[in-house]
């Protein structure tokens, strides 16, 4: 979790101009959308913020704010944005987010969540237990981002691996319109060492319900109960560990919403 940025390994300062899709900053190619050469879904790309600062894969409030802005600027409810921490299946130790289109209605767009504290909710009735912050609970984007970042940074400062997923959502389960945005945060078991691209090891997309498999035999043989068990195994212990401590932290923070 505390691995420093390395100029010698692969990082996004080594991108070539054709790999940069869009400058979302002031034109200096510092804040960009770039291609992802291992896409999971349609238009899978990378949001890279403050690229020249060579920041490690530790979320900043600025990058979270930009991710929310991009979500709200899109006229597609299928745009999804994800973040994997170090030890949470991040592929590159250089600050980045994943963006892609997932054109399927997903349970976490409308599932009921439990009230917790100060604009933060608990995702309980689901195999991957976690935290949910809903835009509709706040006055403006700034308050929304600030509260969500407090939760994520709580995990970062304590070196707890985590995954984050942003999706457009419904205000009520039977709504046709997507009038809300949800940020899901999962504390999870750490994974270290060389990433196994064949085994089913969940990260942000899998916790959200978008399952990816690198091996056809695993896909054919893994049952729903197996997936439920894996998601639960990776999240429940960490969720129970932080739940009461995080409540105390949020109740006593000076940044009250």
pLDDT single digits (tens) 158-213: 999 999 999 999 999 899 999 999 999 999 999 886 666 557 889 999 999 999 88
Q: How confident is the model at residue 87 (pLDDT cuts 50, 70, 90)?
A: very high
Asked if pLDDT for residue 15 goes beyond 60, the answer is yes
CA angle 151, 154, 160 (to 5 degrees): 110
Taking only the tens place, the pLDDT of each residue in 44-59 is: 999 999 999 999 999 9
List 96, 98, 121, 162, catalytic entry: 96
Asked if pLDDT for residue 256 goes beyond 80, the answer is no
pLDDT at 39: 85
Q: In angstroms, what CA-CA distances link 191 with 60, 109, 201, 208, 234?
A: 22, 27, 9, 18, 10
Tokens in use for 187? 């504390």
Among 151, 171, 182, which residue's Cα sits nearest to residue 257? 151
| Alpha carbons within 13 A on the beta-carbon side of 184 | 35
**What pTM was computed for the model?**
0.95
Instruction: Report residue 66: phi and psi, to 5°.
Output: -65, -40
Q: How confident is the prediction for the chain on average, in pLDDT?
A: 93
Active site residue 248: no
For range 11-29, the mean pLDDT: 93
Asked if pLDDT for residue 70 goes beyond 60, the answer is yes
DSSP letter, residue 216: H
> Among 34-38, 67-71, 165-169, 228-232, whose mean pLDDT is lowest?
34-38
Residues of the chain with pLDDT > 70, as a percent, come to 96
Tokens in use for 15? 């991108």
Q: In angstroms, what CA-CA distances link 134 with 89, 147, 234?
A: 25, 10, 24
């Amino acid at each position: 979790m505390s691995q420093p940025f390395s100029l010698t390994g692969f990082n996004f300062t080594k991108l070539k101009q054709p790999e940069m899709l869009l400058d979302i900053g002031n034109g200096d190619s510092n804040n960009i959308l770039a291609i992802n050469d291992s896409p999971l879904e349609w238009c899978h790309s990378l949001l890279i913020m403050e690229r020249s600062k060579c920041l490690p894969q530790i979320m900043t409030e600025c990058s979270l704010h930009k991710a929310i802005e991009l979500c709200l600027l899109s006229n597609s409810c299928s745009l999804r944005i994800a973040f994997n921490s170090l030890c949470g299946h991040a592929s590159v130790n250089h600050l980045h987010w994943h963006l892609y289109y997932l054109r399927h209605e997903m349970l976490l767009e409308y599932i009921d969540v439990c009230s917790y504290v100060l604009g933060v909710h608990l995702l309980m009735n689901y195999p991957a237990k976690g935290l949910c912050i809903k835009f509709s609970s706040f006055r403006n984007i700034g308050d929304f981002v600030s509260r969500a970042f407090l939760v994520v940074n709580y995990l970062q400062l304590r070196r707890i691996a985590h995954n984050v997923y942003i999706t457009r959502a419904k205000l009520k389960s039977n709504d046709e319109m997507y009038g809300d945005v949800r940020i899901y945060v999962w504390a999870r078991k750490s994974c270290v060492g060389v990433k196994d691209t064949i085994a089913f090891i969940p990260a942000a997309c899998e916790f959200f319900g978008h399952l990816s498999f690198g091996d056809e035999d695993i896909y054919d043989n893994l049952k729903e109960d197996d997936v439920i068990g894996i998601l639960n195994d990776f999240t429940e212990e960490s969720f129970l560990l932080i739940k009461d401590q995080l409540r105390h932290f949020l109740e006593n923070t000076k940044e009250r919403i």
